């Protein structure tokens, strides 16, 4: 007897997805039955449970085992909601992501302000499974849903003076406790800003993500719209974006403003350039093994996070120790 199986999905992913679906069905049934669940499990805003689709399979997906939904949504960096890994899931539950507007401005022929839905609507949503390597030496594999950033840039028609694009996160201390005076947000300069050189931003690997695991992006992962630049350290992938600005000169970025010696503008994943306080040669894949092996960081970090074949040419002739 012939058993049909989707040819391009490795069996470990099917297992992970199946477990995830089962857990989700259980949660829905439990919610319908009025059972009380542990806080945080079923309390996210309705939008984050919404199935996105239809999705096409995008290019560049890795076949590595995807990180569990739980780790992806409970182990986060989003300092607007606190510096502990569990803070974003706990503190972003009631974050309002509708209505949401995105402004495109600066050196572009078609500056505009869009409602979120209009910003996204023209583009086909894709699933792309990417590695994410955090500067703190942990990594995950995340099944994003999104579309290429270069589509948005082409629509904006940058002028010949545009060399960079800056991205800005929402500024709203009422909703984002980390932005209020105090230590919850590590005293960063708000709003969070990031930037890319225009040719980096045009690279087909760079996407805007609006979902993960086939569903609307959970608040703690940067809803409603965040950048994903998989060959750079995670902090370049700015969350909850409200503005894109095309500029002539290199824009300031939050982490290099906070500590220029430790965090550069480029921040390409590079095992040969250590952070002043720790090695970047190895990393820990979150959820991969026991707690003990988390501490032993046994996975070798790859140049450009394993995307060197695609992106190394962007930096031909540049000294990546100087432009770290
Ligand atoms: N606005 C904003 N974007 C942000 C951050 C942040 O604190 N604020 N943290 C960054 C860091 S350090 C990482 S590693 C990734 C984490 O993304 P994830 O929580 O979806 O895994 O988001 C990045 N984007
Ligand atoms: Mo990070």
Which pLDDT does position 310 carry in this prediction?
Answer: 98
Which pLDDT does position 29 carry in this prediction?
Answer: 46
User: In this structure, which residues have their CB less than 5 angstroms from ion ligand 2?
Assistant: 77, 134-135, 234-235
Per-residue pLDDT tens digits for 185-223: 999 999 999 999 999 999 999 999 999 999 999 999 999
Q: How far is CA 207 from CA 228, 260, 298, in A?
A: 5, 26, 29
- d(CA 85, ligand 2 centre) in Å: 11
Which pLDDT does position 27 carry in this prediction?
Answer: 43
Which residues are within 8 A (CB) of 175 and not within 5 positions of it... i.e. 6 or more apart?
A: 94, 95, 96
CATH 3.40.50.300 fits 12-314, yes or no: no
Q: Is the pLDDT of residue 38 over 70?
A: no
Q: Is the pLDDT of residue 317 over 90?
A: yes
Averaged over 81-94, what is the pLDDT? Answer: 97
Residue 261: name the closest of 274, 250, 279, 270 by CA.
274
Q: Is the pLDDT of residue 69 over 50?
A: yes
What radius of gyration, in Å, describes the C-alpha atoms of the chain?
20
Which pLDDT does position 50 carry in this prediction?
Answer: 87
Averaged over 32-50, what is the pLDDT? Answer: 49
Per-residue buried b or exposed e for 271-287, using 16+ beta carbons within 10 Å of the residue's own CB: bebeeeeeebeebbbbb
Per-residue pLDDT tens digits for 97-153: 999 999 999 999 999 999 999 999 999 999 999 999 999 999 999 999 999 999 999
Residue 142 neighbours by CB distance under 10 Å:
22
pLDDT category of residue 297 using cuts at 50, 70 and 90: low
pLDDT category of residue 47 using cuts at 50, 70 and 90: confident
- d(CA 251, ligand 2 centre) in Å: 19
What do you get for the CA distance between the two ends of the chain, in Å? 56
Q: Find the residues whose C-beta lies inside 6 A of ligand 1.
A: 76-80, 132, 134, 169, 192, 221-222, 234-235, 237-240
> How many residues does the structure list for the chain?
324
Calpha distance 48→225 (Å, rounded): 12
Q: What are phi and psi of 35, to 5 degrees?
A: -75, 145
Q: Is the pLDDT of residue 157 over 70?
A: yes
Q: Is the pLDDT of residue 67 over 90?
A: yes
Point out the ligand 1 atom lying closest to the alpha carbon of residue 221.
Answer: 20
- d(CA 127, ligand 2 centre) in Å: 22
Residue 238: name the closest of 312, 310, 151, 168 by CA.
168
Per-residue pLDDT tens digits for 234-279: 999 999 999 999 999 999 999 999 999 999 999 999 999 999 999 9
Closest ligand (CA of 275): 2
pLDDT category of residue 30 using cuts at 50, 70 and 90: very low
Q: Is the pLDDT of residue 290 over 70?
A: no
pLDDT category of residue 48 using cuts at 50, 70 and 90: confident
Q: Is the pLDDT of residue 37 over 80?
A: no
**If you take atom 15 of ligand 1, which residue's CA is the nearest one?**
234
Q: Is the pLDDT of residue 7 over 80?
A: no
Averaged over 294-301, what is the pLDDT? Answer: 76
Mean model confidence pLDDT for the chain: 88
Cis ω before 224 (30° cut-off from 0): yes
Which pLDDT does position 298 carry in this prediction?
Answer: 78
Domain ranges of the chain: 12-314
Which pLDDT does position 21 carry in this prediction?
Answer: 56
């Amino acid at each position: 007897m012939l058993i049909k199986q989707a040819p391009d999905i490795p069996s470990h992913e099917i297992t992970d997805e199946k477990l995830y679906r089962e857990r989700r069905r259980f949660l829905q049934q439990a919610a319908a039955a009025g059972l009380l669940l542990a806080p945080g499990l079923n309390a996210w805003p309705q939008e984050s449970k919404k199935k996105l689709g239809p999705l096409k399979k995008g290019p560049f997906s890795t076949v590595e085992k995807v990180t569990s939904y739980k780790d992806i949504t409970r182990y986060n960096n989003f300092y607007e909601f606190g510096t502990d890994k569990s803070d974003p899931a706990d503190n972003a539950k009631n974050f309002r992501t509708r209505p949401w507007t995105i402004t495109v401005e600066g050196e572009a022929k078609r500056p505009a302000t869009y409602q979120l839905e209009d910003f996204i609507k023209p583009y086909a949503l894709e699933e792309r499974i990417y590695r994410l390597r955090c500067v703190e030496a942990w990594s995950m594999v995340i099944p994003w849903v999104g579309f290429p950033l270069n589509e948005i840039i082409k629509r904006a028609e940058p002028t010949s003076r545009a060399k960079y694009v800056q991205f800005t996160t929402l500024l709203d201390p009422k909703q984002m406790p980390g932005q209020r005076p105090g230590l919850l947000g590590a005293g960063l300069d708000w709003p969070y800003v990031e930037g890319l050189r225009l040719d980096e931003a045009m690279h087909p690997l760079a996407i805007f993500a609006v979902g993960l695991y086939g569903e609307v992006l959970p608040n703690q992962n940067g809803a409603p719209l965040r950048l994903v630049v998989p060959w750079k350290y995670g902090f370049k992938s700015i969350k909850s974006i409200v503005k894109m600005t095309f500029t002539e000169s290199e824009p300031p970025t939050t982490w290099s403003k906070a500590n220029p010696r430790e965090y550069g503008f480029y921040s390409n994943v590079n095992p040969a350039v250590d952070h002043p306080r720790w090695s970047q040669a190895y990393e820990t894949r979150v959820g991969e093994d026991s707690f003990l092996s988390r501490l032993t960081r046994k996975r070798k970090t790859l140049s450009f996070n394993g995307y060197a074949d695609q992106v190394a040419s962007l930096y031909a002739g540049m000294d990546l120790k100087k432009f770290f």
